[in-house]
Amino acid sequence: MNKHKIIILPDNIEISAEANTFLKKVLIENGVYFEFPCGGTGICRQCKLKIIKGDEEEEVLACKFKVQEDLIIKIPAREKKHNVLIDGDNRQAILDPLVKKVFLKLPPATLQDNRDDWHRITGQRGVKANLKVLQDLPGIIRKSNFSVTLVFSREEIIAVESGDTTEILFGMAFDIGTTTIAGYLLNLKTGEEIAQVSCLNPQTKYGADVISRINYASQSIEGLNDMHNEIISEVNSLIEKAVNEIGCSKEDVYAVTVAGNTAMQHLFLKIQPEYLAKAPYIPTVTGEVVLDAEDINIKINPRGKVFVFPNIAGFVGGDTAAAILAAQMDTSDNLKLLIDIGTNGEIVLGTKDRLLACSTAAGPAFEGGNITCGMRGAAGAIDHVFIDEEFKYTVIDDVSPCGIAGSGLVDAIAQLLKIGIVDKTGRLLKPKEVKNELGRKYRDRIIDIDGVLSFVLTYNTQTGKPIFISQRDIREFQLAKGAIAAGIDILLKAYGAKAEDIREVLLAGAFGNYLNYKSACRVGLIPEQLEDKTRGIGNAAGVGAKCGLLSEKEFERGAKLSQKVQYIELSSHHEFNQIFINKLDF
C-alpha cells in the first residue's frame, strides 16, 4: 500500500497514512483527539481542519477528505473529551453520549442559494430524511433565521431546534427489574448524574415473579397490553419525578436507555413473552432495539430515542448485558466471574476474548422467597448472623426484626455448619445429636415448629413470633445454592478453566452488597478459594445502562454482547443434573 506522511500542526506531530484513507480514520487510529458528533456523515461540519499548501489554506472536513498525497494539516484547539465518573465503584466513561447536539449558523436562503431546507441543514443531498423532523423544519429553521441546533442520534438527525440549545441535553438510564425499577437522570452535556429515582415494579400486582407475569401476559392481548402499559406509565412517572426534582422539563430528555431481564424487556416493548416460559424458551429478539420514544409512548422530548439493551438468551437479559458492560468484562484480559443473584441467578464467566453465560433457576430463596421467615433486604430484615460464644445478628435499619434476608440466611447456615448444628448433607441435627461444644450451647434453639425441626434465631421480634430457619428452609436453600454452584462449575468446565484461574468474582445487585463472602464460600455458593477475590459491584445493570447512555461506543459494545456472549442452556446440559446433585451438600 502507498503511504503518505501527514504533519499535524500546531503540535507538529508526524504520522503516516495509507493512500485513499479518510482523514477521520487516520486521526482516530493515531489517537489524535477530534470530535465527529454526526458520526462522520459530513452533516455537522464539526471536524473542519485546514490543509496547508504553501501560503494557502484550504478548509476541509476530516470525515470527507481522503488522503491522496503528503499533507500538512492544522487542527483547531478544542476542549478535551472528559472522563466522567459513573458510580462508587470508580467506573468511568468517556463522555460521548447516545444523543448529541450541534449548533449551526446556516446561510439564509436566497434565490441564488435556493437549496431545500433539508439539504441546507445536512449540507449535502441524499441524506435520509425523518418525516417528523421534516414536518418541524420549515417553521423552526426560519424562527431563528437559519441558526439551528441539530440533535443527532448516532448518524441520524432526530430533531432540529431553533437557535442554540446545545446546553440542554439530558438522558435517563433505567434498570427495569422484576421487583424494582431504578432510573438515573444524567446531564449529557457534563456527564453528571443529577437525580436518582426508583419504585416498585407496578406489575408486581400480577405476580411477584417473572413466570407469573409472563403467564398473565400470555392469556390475552389485553394481558400483554396491561403489563406493557403498567411499565411504560411507571417509567413515565419516574421521568416526571426526576425532571421535577431538578427543575428541568421532560422535553429536555432526549434519550433513554433500558436494561432489564428478557421478559421485562419484551413487556417494555409490548412483545409477547409467552414463549420465554415454555421450552425451548425462545426470546423474540436478542439484539439491541432502538426506537422512537413516541412509538412506545415514553414521554420525553417527542423526537427522543429509546435504546434497549440486547438480551443474550431467554433467561439472560439486557440487565446482564449491561452488567457485563459495567464490569468491563468484555474489554478485560482478566478472567472474571459475574454473578447476579435474584430469582434466577445469571452467571457470566470470561475475558474480552470469550464470554460464557448461563441462567440457573435458583428460586427466590436468596431474596427471602419460599423461606418460612424470609423477606427482602428491607428494614427489619436480619441481614447478618454471627454465632460464637455470643449469638449476634444485625437488622437492616436497626429496628426490631421481622424476618430474615438472603444474606442473613447465608450467614446463619454458614454459622450453623460451623457449630455443627447443620451437617454436611444439610440435615438440621436434633438437640441431642449435637456434638460440637459451641453447638451444644445453642441446642435449645432447636425446636419443633409446626411439625418441622427448626433453629430459632430470635424471639425478640416485631410480631412476638420467633424468627427461625426450618429444615425445609435449609433444603430450599440447598437447591438454590446448588443451582448457582453447578452453573459456575459448568461455565468453568466449558471455558476450560479452574476456579483458581478466576481473578475476580463480582456480585451484582443488592444481595451481593449485603452478602458476607466468607459465609457464601463456607456454604459453597462461591468456590471457597475465591473468597478474597470477591466483591459486590452494586446495581451493575443500572451502571451499565448509564455507561451506554453516556457513551455511544459503550452502548455499541453492549449491543454486541448478544452476539459475543455464548449462552449455555443448563436445562438441556447433559452434566447439569449430576453436578447439581453433587453441589447440594455443604
Tell me which residues touch a copy of itself (CB under 8 A): 109-119, 125-129, 131, 134-135, 137-139, 142, 269-272, 274-275, 279-287, 289-291, 295-296, 311, 313-314, 560, 562-563, 567, 569, 571-572
Q: Least CB distance from residue 100 to a copy of itself, whole Å?
A: 20
Listed residue (313, 374, 320, 368) closest to 343, CA to CA: 368
Beta carbons of 257 and 186 less than 8 angstroms apart:
no
CB of 238 to a copy of itself, least distance (A): 22
Q: Which is nearer to a copy of itself, 94 or 290 (CB)?
A: 290
CA 8 vs CA 27, 52, 53, 55, 70: distances in Å: 10, 10, 13, 16, 11
Q: How far is the CB of 15 from a copy of itself (least distance, A)?
A: 27
State the minimum distance, in angstroms, from the CB of residue 446 to a copy of itself: 44
Which of 134/399 has CB closer to a copy of itself? 134
Q: Which is nearer to a copy of itself, 26 or 140 (CB)?
A: 140
Of the pair 113, 448, the CB lying nearest a copy of itself is at 113
Closest CB to a copy of itself among residues 137, 348: 137
Least separation, in Å, of the C-beta of 313 and a copy of itself? 7
In the complex, the smallest distance separating the C-beta of residue 58 from a copy of itself, rounded to whole angstroms, is 24
Q: Between 296 and 469, name the residue whose CB sits nearer to a copy of itself.
A: 296
Q: How far apart are CA 214 and CA 146, in angstroms?
A: 51
**Min dist. Cβ of residue 322 to a copy of itself (A):** 18
Q: Which is nearer to a copy of itself, 66 or 115 (CB)?
A: 115
- Which CB atom, from 274 or from 433, has the smaller least distance to a copy of itself? 274
74 vs 40, 45, 59, 502, CA distance in Å? 19, 16, 10, 48
- The one-letter amino acid code at 576 reads F
**What letter would DSSP give residue 221?**
H
| Minimum CB–partner distance for residue 172 and a copy of itself (Å) | 19
- Residue in 546, 552, 554 with CA at minimum distance from that of residue 154: 552
- For the chain, the farthest-separated pair of C-alpha atoms sits apart, in whole angstroms, at 102
Strands 452-458 and 446-449: antiparallel
Nearer to a copy of itself, 135 or 462 (CB): 135
Q: Which amino acid is at 463?
A: T
Q: Which residues are CB-neighbours of 7 under 8 A, at least 6 positions away?
A: 13, 14, 71, 72, 73
Q: Which is nearer to a copy of itself, 227 or 543 (CB)?
A: 227
Backbone angles phi, psi at 560, to 5 degrees: -75, -10
* Residue found by looking up cell 436445562 in the block: 571
Which residue number, 74 or 154, has a Cβ lying nearer to a copy of itself? 154
Give the list of residues 6+ apart from residue 548 with CB closer than 8 angstroms, or none: 98, 173, 257, 259, 307, 309, 322, 325, 554, 555, 558
Smallest distance, a copy of itself to C-beta of residue 220, A: 12
Residue 277 CA to residue 275 CA, distance in Å, equals: 5
Q: Rounded to whole angstroms, how far apart are CA atoms 187 and 195? A: 9
Contact between 442 and 387 (Cβ < 8 Å):
yes
Residue (400 or 572) nearer to a copy of itself, CB: 572
Question: Looking at beta carbons only, is 12 or 112 nearer to a copy of itself?
Answer: 112
Rounded to an integer, what distance in angstroms lies between the CA atom of residue 541 and that of residue 174? 9
Cell output for 109: 436562503
d(CA 554, CA 551): 5
Q: Report CA Rg, the chain.
A: 28
Question: Least distance (Å) from a copy of itself to the CB of residue 44?
Answer: 18
Residue count of the chain, please give it. Answer: 586
**CB 109, min distance to a copy of itself, A:** 5
Shortest Å distance, C-beta 235 to a copy of itself? 16
Rounded Cα–Cα distance for residues 247 and 521 (Å): 47
* Pairing of the two strands 48-53 and 193-200: unpaired
**Residues near 474 by Cβ (< 8 Å), separated by ≥ 6?**
413, 422, 426, 428
CA angle 384/388/393 to nearest 5° reads 25
Residue 403 · residue 368 · CB < 8 Å:
yes
3-state secondary structure of 279: coil
What DSSP character marks residue 266?
H
Determine how many CB atoms are found less than 10 A away from the CB of residue 219.
11
**Minimum gap (Å) between residue 290 Cβ and a copy of itself:** 8
Of the candidates 445, 404, 403, the one whose C-alpha atom is nearest the C-alpha of residue 422 is 445
Rounded least distance, CB 311 to a copy of itself, Å: 7
Nearer residue to a copy of itself within complex by CB, 195 or 255: 255
